[in-house]
Structure 1
C-alpha cells in the first residue's frame, strides 16, 4: 500500500486544491456584498437575480462550458479582444478554469450566505444603526460574526464542490499536466486506460477528502447549535 501511494503523481490534487482555494476566496468576496444587498432588498428584481445565481445548480456543466468556450475562444470577438489587448486567454488555461469554476460554484457560496443574512435577527441591525454604525461597519462588525455557521458552510461546500468538478473543467481546461489537469480528470483518464488500480487510489483519496470536508461542516454547525441552546 505504501509503495502504491508513493508512486502516485499528486500534481492533479495540487491543481485541484489550488483551483478550489482561489475560486472560494474570489467567490466569497464577490458574492458576499451581493447576498447582503439582496437580503435587505424588497425589489421585484430579487427573484430574477436569485434565479440567475442558482442557475448553475440545474444547468448541465457541458452547456455552461460550451457557452464559455463560444464566448471566450480565440475565434470570438470578445476572446480575441481579451487576448490581443490584455494577453488573457480563458480557454485551456488555469485562469480559464478559475473563471469557469467561479460561475459553476457560485450557488454554493451564494445560497448559504443569503440564508444566513436573511435569518439574522433584525433587532441587531436596528440597534447597530441606532448606535451610529454605518452599513459597512454593521456588516463586518455585527452581521458576519453572527452568521459564522453560514459562512463556514459556504466556504467549505464551495471548496469541496470545486475540487470535485469534472464536466466544465474538462471542456474549458482540457488535460494539461501541471496546468489544468485536476484529480477528477486524472481519474477519468485512468478509467479510460483501464488502469483501475490508479483510478481506485485517486478515487479513495477524493472520497476521504470529501467525507472530511462535509464532516467538518456538520461538526462545527452542530457545535454552534449546541452553544446557542
Structure 2
C-alpha cells in the first residue's frame, strides 16, 4: 500500500482543487448580487429566474455537458467569437472546465445566499435605507455580515461540489493529463482499466474530503445557531 502511494500521480487532485477554488471565487461574485436580487424582488419573473438558476440540479450532467460543449465549441457563435477574437478555445482545456463548472455549480452558491438574505429581519434593511445607505452598501455592510452561516455553507458546498464533478467535466474537458484530467475522471479511467487498488485510494481520499467538508459546515452552522440563540 505504501509503495503504491509513492508511485501514484496526485496531479488530478491538484487540478480538482484549482478548478474548485477558481470556480468558487467566480461564482461568489456572480451569485452575491443574483442571490440578493432574488431575495428582494417581487417580480412575476422571479420563479422563472429561480427555475433557470436551479436547472443544473435536476438536469443529467450529460445533458448539461452536451449543451455547454456545443455552446463553447468553435461551431457556436460564442466559441467562434472567442476563438477568432482572442484566439482562445473554450473546449478541451482548463478554461472550458472553469466555464462549465460555473454553470454546473451555480445553484449551490446562489440558493444558500438567497436563503440567508431572505432570513434577515426586514426592519434591519429598512433602517439601513433610512440612514441613507444605498442598496449596494446595505448588501455589503448590513446583509452580508448577518448571513455568515449561509455564506460559509455556500462557499464550502460549492467548492466540494466542484471537486466531485464528473459528467460535465468529462464532456467539456475530456481527459488531458495535467490540464483537464481531474480526480473524478482519473478514478473513472482507473476503473476502466481495472486498476482497482489505485481507484480505491483515490475514492477513499474523495470520501474523506467530502466528509470533512460536510462536517465543517454542520459544526460551523451548529455553533452559529447556538451563538445566535444565546446558548454558549
- With the length of structure 2 as denominator, give the TM-score of the two structures: 0.96
Provide structure 2 residue ranges, at least 5 long, that are not aligned to the other structure: none
Aligned to 1:72: 72
Quick one: distance in 1 between partners of 2:74 and 2:123? 53
Q: How many residues align?
A: 229
- The answer for the alignment partner of 1:199 in structure 2 is 199
User: Residue 133 in 1 paired to residue 133 in 2?
Assistant: yes
CA distance in 1, matches of 2:77, 2:120: 45
Q: Which runs of 5+ in 1 are unaligned?
A: none
| Counterpart in the other structure of 2:119 | 119
Query: 1:105 aligns to what SS in structure 2?
Result: helix
Counterparts of 1:204 and 1:139 in 2: how far apart (Å)? Answer: 40
Superposed CA RMSD in Å reads 1.0
Alignment deviations for residues 108-151 of structure 1 (CA, whole Å, 9 cap, x no partner) = 00110000011111111011112222221111111001000000
Give the distance between the partners of 2:50 and 2:79, measured in 1 at CA.
28
Q: Distance in 2 between matches of 1:206 and 1:179?
A: 19
Distance 2:210 2:161 in 1: 9
CA distance, structure 2, for counterparts of residue 75 and residue 40 of structure 1: 39
In the superposition, the TM-score normalised over structure 1's length comes to 0.97
Q: Do residues 212 (structure 1) and 212 (structure 2) align?
A: yes
Deviation of residue 75 (structure 1)?
2.8
Q: Tell whether the 8 Å contact from 2:72 to 2:96 is kept in structure 1 after alignment.
A: no
Bigger mean CA offset, 80-89 vs 33-42: 80-89
Superposition deviation, residue 69 in structure 1:
1.7
Task: Deviation per CA, 1:28-59: give whole Å up to 9, x if none.
Answer: 10111011012111000100000000000000
Counterpart Cα distance in 2 of 1:103 and 1:78: 15
Who is 1:36 aligned against?
Answer: 36
Deviations 1:166-219 (A, max 9, x none): 000000000001100000000000000100000000000010000000011000
Which residue of structure 2 aligns with residue 14 of structure 1? 14
Query: Pairwise mapping of residues 1-229 of structure 1 onto structure 2 (< 5 A)?
Result: 1-229=1-229
Which stretches of structure 1, 4 residues or more, deviate above 6 A after TM superposition? Answer: none
